[in-house]
Amino acid sequence: MADKVVEVTQKGYFSRIGNSFKGIVFGLILFVVSIGLLFWNEGRAVKTAKTLKEGKTAVISVPVEPINGANDDRLIHTIGMANTDEILIDPEFELSRNALRFRRDVEMYQWEEDKKTEERKKLGGGTEEITTYEYKKVWSSSLINSSDFKEISGHDNPNSIQFKSQTWNAGKGTLGAFSLTSELIEKIDSFRNASLSDSDYETFMKANTGKKVNRIENGYYIGADQSAPAIGDMRVRFTEVVPQSVSIIGKQFGGTFTAYQTSAGGSILMIEPGIKTADEMFASAEKQNSMMTWILRGVGFILAWIGLSMIFAPLSVIADVVPFIGTIVGAGTSIISFIIALPISLITIAVAWLFFRPVLAIMLLILAGAIIGAGIFWAFKKGAASKIAS
């Protein structure tokens, strides 16, 4: 059994050229997708910002009880204890909890393949690809298919996991006089470790798992020795969302909450653990919107850069007849792709602003024009002064 396998393959010059031209199509697709993503993202950001702004002006804070019917269809903010009478049951481990949510997380010790490829250019335009496959043992929550490994022998994983990760959610709950729907309960993610009693452990020990079972923090270790895990060993841990104080913003609909539709086309339904004011909740949502906007802008730009690099890739491959020249050309096309992708991304965002934020976009364009005009005037004036001096 080898925990590292090295494979060397050769690629001819004309084969590489053919593949690079095929990559142009995929590069064009990436580039078009990047433009669409950037444009859509600005619309999403504006829609979300307008939705939150409208919500901030419309929301009212009310007590959790009694329910005031006059507030029906209004956007309300309230704070209270989220509770439920339901008992959530894990039938396989015979565990039951009075909780809003109950989760079983399962990991299995398995082999994992790590593939790395290094390309070396050869005189004449061909390449030598050195692919290294390394195998290591890891804890994974999903089943790793070892039949796809380069070296299967000695790296076999089980074909199935005896126990799988699963989450149970209460179907209904209460918040003072209000009722909580399962949709709202699923939004509460403040999980904490669930404590297991001696009787919980003893009950599971009676089950026929086929392996030795040891108790660990908030769960079980299914295997002979947790200090020396073997392939197929499992770690099973339990967490729960217990009744707790929460803050919620949504439309009052009878005795419960639903999404509040705004004139901007968005909707508002927020629930957070702890005691939060309406202003704090809206500030958090605005921060998330801003963060998501910048993340997607970055993704859009990178997709455009990669797409253009793939479009220009044949140039460097053709120049690879002499490897160091191909390397120089490759670096140059990457820089050119960056230089082109950046302004195109900015222009796309600006065009989107003209569509979604016309006033702001026009002001920015006027400012940009003024700056460019000032620069041209300064350069012209300096050039004229130099002529006079000479």
Residue-wise pLDDT tens digits, 2-37:
588 888 777 766 676 777 778 788 889 999 999 999
Give the residue among 210, 208, 234, 204 at the shortest CA–CA distance from 222: 234
Which amino acid would we find at residue 10? Q
Select from 335, 334, 338, 318 the least CA-distant residue to 326: 318
Q: Is 90 exceeded by the pLDDT of residue 357?
A: no
What's the predicted TM-score (pTM) here? 0.79
pLDDT at 128: 76
Report the share of the chain in percent with pLDDT over 90: 56
The domain locations on the chain are 13-51+291-389, 59-109+138-276
pLDDT tens-digit readout, 302-352: 999 999 988 888 777 677 667 777 678 778 888 888 888 888 888 888 778
For residue 339, the model assigns a pLDDT of: 84
Q: What is the pLDDT of residue 320?
A: 67
